[in-house]
Structure 1
Amino acid sequence: MSSEALPLIAPSKADRLHETIFDASTGAPGIVANELAHDPEFVPEIEQDTHPHGYGSTIDPTATQDEDADYALPPRELYLVFSSLFMGIFLAALDGTVVTTLLTVISSDLNAVSNISWIATAYLLSCAAFQPLFGKLSDIFGRKCLIILCNICFAIGCLMSTTDNVWTLVFARLVTGIGGGGMTSLATITMSDLVSLRKRGLYQGIGNLFFGLGAASGGVMGGIVADILGWRAVFLLQAPIAIISAAFVYKYLNLPEGSPGLGYHGSDMMTKFRCVDFLGSSLLVLSVGGIMAAASLGGKEFAYNSYPFVALLATSVLFLLAFVYVELYVSPEPTIPVRLLADRTVLCSSLANWFFTMACYVGLYYVPIFFTSVLGNTPTQNGLRLIPNTIAASAGSLISGIYMKKTGRYYRYIVVTSSFSVFGFFFLTQMTPTMSNFKQFTVLLLPTFGYSSVVTVTLLALIAAVPASHQAATTSIQYAFRSTGSTLGVSIASAIFQHLLKARILINFDNLLRENPKLAEKYNIGEIISKSLDNTDYIYEAPKVFRTAIRMAYSSGCHGAFYFAFGTVILGYLSCIGMREHTLHTSIKRK
């Protein structure tokens, strides 16, 4: 938070020192200046909670063991607020996957089969584009009003989704995505206001559990409700739950005086609005939204070498570069403090989230494709094989939280647990058409356990590495990396998969025709190849003589995606090693 833009808040001595010893080449305090600013011999009067570095140590010698200092609210109010936050996380995750089983029904009902991709991606695009904004906005206006606003926005979007017009539905999904993105990120940010960092990991693990449950159950619940009450009821039933959650937050989220979650004090609403970085926020939404749209629509709506795709991607990158410049040199109150990426732990934890999310989503998408196209499993069999994956995700988050609560440490733990994903993705590259049922049920256990551990630990490491005043903005940084990582990972893997699938299927068919030239006279080879590329189910409908060739082509495509995931998870592991250990304080005030 820049002291220049807010005359109503006096800058701390540490902030003034950062401005005095400023590295113009990076737009951030130099490494030496950053260390000096937190050396008690150099600046003995700086408050200890201004920037809790503590490199090389994890237990704060001044930490109090008073349980009352661990929480910002009395137990009853705390549990009610957490219940509301977890419900918001569950709804936001559920709404991201609920349309997977409804797309064909909705598109047929609205006569909009050609626009089916927009129905599927609108929520995810707006969620990712707006999610990074809520950290700084909640610093200005306070957590409570932003959480309530996002819940209302989510409910309005759900109500609008009951429309009979496809483009109104797409717009409604965009509105719902704005609310859902805020419900997720603000819940994570608010947890840091409510509990100490030492206990923070446990609650984050529970939050990740609710997110996983929502994402995993979205498709199933959507299908069941749609079969009984119709697809519009799927959206309609979510609205009152979001409103009830907002009501509980309004009544019970009463943060103590001095909490950063209360927003800027001593100023009217217009003064607060003047603190909003509208230029930076607009550039961020345009850049992230454009990149996500290019990643989602490239290779589907637009060819990768088409003018619309290239123009969209190039424009988005220009917007991103402009955003970085504005945040570093123009905006007195940056939406995302880009300069904090100069901190080794902030940068490494962000990159770890980015790379691990890329790899994890590639596994989640392409392991079922391998099971279906190469092993011949049914959708039900695939669903059963993903049940252990859900358990591993929950276990990774909760165990990580419990470990950090008990020990106050995380560096060695993350180095070990993140390596599980490295080994797990290596095993994915070794999958064969003859793999056993046991391997099918367990192949995602290591990657998922490692990923859920990384997500939980890196968030705590990132928050602990910066002053409390920046905990909301840095949380937004992680969400920005995570949301773009998921879409970029799947999109890059999709391009690799499609390229290898097409190349291998042409080679396999060419070999078949050389061995038996009469096949070209008996079958329409071009039609068989086209159908094979468009639909995995065609493997079971194609003439038997071609089925093995098609299966082996799909195997090559999947393995290309798995090798990409293996490479990205190695980069993620190196990022985890690059982090530093910081103090996980046992009190809200980081003392």
Structure 2
Amino acid sequence: MSSEQDSRNDQHREQQQQQQQQHPHHHHQFHPNVIHDASADSAGIIASELAAEDGSLLSSTTLKSHSYGAAEEGSSQDYAIDEPNGGYALPKKQLITVVSSLFMASFLAALDATVVTTLLTIIASELKAVKNISWIATSYLLSSSAFQPIFGKLSDIFGRKFILIGCSLMFGIGCIICATDSLWWLVFGRFITGWGGSGLTAVGTITMSDLIPLRDRGLYQGLANICFGLGAASGGFFGGLIADSLGWKYVFILQVPLAAVVGFALYFNLNLPAGSPGLGAHGQDIRQKLKRVDFLGSFCLISALMMFLTATSLGGRDIAFTSKTFISLSAASFALILAFLYVEAYVSEEPIIPIELLGNRTVLASSLTNWFYTMGIFAIMFYVPVYYTSVLYLSASENGLRLVPNFGGISIGSVGAGYYMKRTGRYYRLTVGAGILAILGAYRVTLLDRHTPVWQQFVMMIPQGMAYSCILTVTLLALIAATPMKYQACTTSIQYTFRSTGSTLGVSAASAIFQTVLAPSLSRKIWDLVKDPEEARKIISKALEDTNYVHEAPKYVREAIRSSYDEGCRGAFYFAFGIIILGVISSLFMREHKLHTSINRD
């Protein structure tokens, strides 16, 4: 930075000190001229000029500054890490141990989300709870998605190590509770496990940003995505294997020692250097830290997400979209979101998610990119297997084999994106390339029909998996690079919020479209074939409830059911294609920011 620029910055600091002396009670007022611009090597004055010119940040009259993490009140929040190890925050051996533990935590959280997929009927039959079977899976997903957004700020206050160990403990306790003979205790245990698992995933991602320079961060995130994907893909397999050999309770019991290993490894090795934002607030006891927690904002956000996710998860399946329950849940979640936005903007001194960050163009664009991509990809991942089963008449094993190559695409996309960013320090062209690949892949899915060659069925999911895993890595780094270091935990929480709601909303919206297309098509075709009204209603009802019914239905109606499923799945595919295009358009508004080669971002 030039001496002239240094002089200008000194003048601005002096003016700021004079303003604080004149208005001691207004020290929370947010002034863009003291924002540290993480994307440049210069300090706040440049950021304030950009904000004034293009509106990439909201005006100073509408924003408030807040103390975050380790820095003291009134400081500039420019973190400086003591003696980084070649740009990293820990020595090599410690770094490998900590990162491996975080990978294991990510694997466990993903595995536990899908481990019950092959166990639901076994557990429900043993506990005599077939009617409430969906809550065994839903309880984990609800708590995991609803609590993820709050962990960023909590880890800024209490420190990453404290939160990660606490989440490991919660995960283990939840798994112990799951080994029960009561359905509702099992549901409660799954809820606790999801709470802990969401913290392990979110804070684990945040912690890697404390440890690893942004230039290398993408490569490590790519590996983390592989661990997460491997856990999600293998959950059903391991669940079935252990249940058959030891019993379903051991599926949960055997996860307890693994969670303990993660907790102990982090306790002894996650020793962040002085100056790291991951250390939490300095010089404050537990009461002072608790006073800083935004309980009101957290309550509004968690409650809103719980109601929204419950409505979208159960809507159209367990509760009708036109029912009072669905409408009430949707209205209440919308009202609570508005309350959350008001609390964060005007009430909370230290908001759980500073909404002013969404005024940053890159933060907003990358968040929407993540949201739309996740909606589209999850819709495809859910309905391509439905098409294979109900239209192509494939068995479960044949269906599963066709999804295996997708994991290869995810691995290549994750690690390839990280390697590209490590070598070039850039990501915008990569974003455009991933967008083109995603659009072409989603379009190919819309052309899926009964005459699609077998080899194409095996590679059908690879482009989307590759593009999506690439985008997950890119959007995370774009979010972190676009904001000052003090906000890296909050921006990571923002990404997880958009991702978790996007996955649920994507599947729910696709399901609604699927049912909307399927129901009238089935009714029209079945009524043309079946003259007995009672028999026709029975066939239609079973076909709407069970995708496998097409194999059991009377032979003379199977083709009608098959063609109706074809139309319904195609409706879901067109939805996914359109929503992915929105994601690609959103990604084009992200700016290219500097990926630093040191933890100190220099």
Alpha-carbon contact 1:5-1:275 (below 8 Å) kept: no
1:390 to 404, 407, 420: 407
Residue of structure 2 aligned with 1:559, choices 570, 587, 590 = 570
Matched, 1:439 2:456: yes
Aligned residues of 2:84 and 2:599 also touching (Cα < 8 A): no
Q: Which residue of 2 aligns with 1:98?
A: 115
Q: Distance in 1 between matches of 2:25 and 2:127?
A: 50
Partner of 1:302: helix, strand, or coil?
A: coil
| TM-superposed deviation, 1:49 | 6.0
Quote how far apart the aligned CAs of 1:30 are: 2.9
Deviations 1:111-139 (A, max 9, x none): 11111111110000000000111000000
| Correspondence 1:532-571 to 2 at 5 A | 532-571=543-582
Task: Quote the residue 2:263 is aligned against.
Answer: 246
Quote the residue 2:8 is aligned against.
none
Residue type of the partner of 1:375? L
Correspondences of 1:192-231 after superposition (within 5 Å): 192-231=209-248
Q: Which of 443, 451, 463 is the equivalent residue of 2:480? A: 463
Match of 2:540 in 1: 529
- Is 2:136 aligned against 1:119? yes
3-state SS in 2 of match to 1:242: helix
Q: Distance in 2 between matches of 1:377 and 1:350?
A: 37
**CA distance 1:7–1:237, shift in 2 (3 Å):** farther
AA in 1 matched with 2:581: I
Q: CA deviation at 1:434?
A: 1.4
Aligned to 1:267: 284
State the 1:68 CA deviation. 3.1
Unaligned segments of structure 1, at least 5 residues: 35-45, 52-65, 514-518
Alignment pair present for 1:343 and 2:360: yes
SS in 2 for 1:258: coil
Q: Unmatched 5+ residue regions in structure 2?
A: 1-19, 37-43, 64-74
1:191 equivalent in alignment to 2:208: yes
Q: For residue 397 of structure 2, what is the amino acid of its counterpart?
A: T
Partner in structure 2 of residue 62 of structure 1: none
Determine the structure 2 residue equivalent to 1:175: 192
Deviations 1:314-344 (A, max 9, x none): 0011001110111111111000011100000
Aligned to 2:395: 378
Between the aligned partners of 1:189 and 1:384, the Cα distance in structure 2 is 34
| CA contact 1:50–1:467 (8 Å) conserved in 2 | no
Deviation at 1:7, TM superposition (A): 9.2
1:352-397 CA deviation, whole Å, 9 max, x = no partner?
0100000111111100000000001000001110111011011100
Within 5 A, what are the aligned runs for 1:281-320? 281-320=298-337
Q: Against the structure 1 CA distance between its residues 107 and 587, is the aligned structure 2 distance closer, same or farther, given a 3 Å change threshold? A: same
Structure-2 separation of matches of 1:113 and 1:27: 52
Match of 1:30 in 2: 59
Q: Distance in 2 between matches of 1:440 and 1:266?
A: 59
CA distance in 2, matches of 1:522, 1:557: 23
**Structure 1 residues 327 and 20: alpha-carbon distance in aligned structure 2, compared to 1, 3 A threshold:** farther
Alpha-carbon distance in 2 for matches of 1:11, 1:263:
24
The question of 1:573 aligning with 2:589 is answered no
How big is each residue's C-alpha offset from its partner over 1:140-184, in whole Å with a ceiling of 9 and x where there is no partner?
010000000000000000000001111111111110010000000
- AA partner of residue 215 (structure 1): A
Q: State the number of aligned residues.
A: 555
Deviations 1:510-538 (CA, angstroms, capped at 9, x unpaired): 4x44xxxxx52599222222221122222
What's 2:34 paired with?
14
Indicate conservation of the 8 Å contact 1:464/1:582, yes or no: yes
C-alpha separation in 1, matches of 2:205 and 2:397: 34
Partner of 1:588: 599
**How is 1:101-180 mapped onto 2 (pairs within 5 angstroms)?**
101-180=118-197
- Within 1, Cα distance between the matches of 2:553 and 2:426? 56
**Conserved? CA contact 1:81–1:249, under 8 Å:** yes
Structure 1: distance between partners of 2:251 and 2:25: 45
State the secondary structure of the residue aligned to 1:421.
Answer: helix
The sequence identity of aligned pairs, in percent, is 52
The 2-side partners of 1:523 and 1:278 are apart by: 55
Q: 2:349 aligns with which of 332, 338, 342?
A: 332
Please say if 1:256 is aligned against 2:273: yes
Matches within 5 A, 1:435-514: 435-510=452-527, 512-513=528-529
In 2, Cα distance between equivalents of 1:342 and 1:116? 42
CA distance in 2, matches of 1:466, 1:310: 38
Structure 2 Cα separation of the partners of residues 484 and 474 of structure 1 = 16
Highest relative contact order (Cα 8 Å, sep 6+), 1 or 2? 1
Shift of 1:29: 3.1
Question: What is the Cα deviation at residue 509 of structure 1?
Answer: 2.4
The answer as to whether partners of 1:49 and 1:590 remain within 8 angstroms in 2 is no
Q: Determine the C-alpha separation between the residues in 2 that align with 1:365 and 1:313.
A: 23
Give, in angstroms, the shift of residue 418 of structure 1: 2.0
Tell me if structure 1 keeps the 8 A contact 2:379–2:507: yes
SS in 1 for 2:167: helix
Change in 2 beyond 3 A, CA 1:276/1:20: farther
Residues 1:467 and 1:521: Cα distance change in structure 2 (over 3 Å): closer
Can you list the C-alpha shifts for 1:262-295, whole angstroms capped at 9, x where unaligned? Answer: 0011211111111110000111100111111111
Match of 1:40 in 2: none
Instruction: Give 1:541's aligned amino acid.
Output: E
2:115 counterpart SS class: helix
Letter matched to residue 477 of structure 2 = L
- Do structure 1's residue 83 and structure 2's residue 103 form an aligned pair? no
How far 1:547 sits from its partner (Å)? 1.0
Counterpart contact for 1:159–1:236, Cα < 8 Å: yes
Aligned CA RMSD, in angstroms, stands at 2.7
1:50 shift after superposition:
8.0
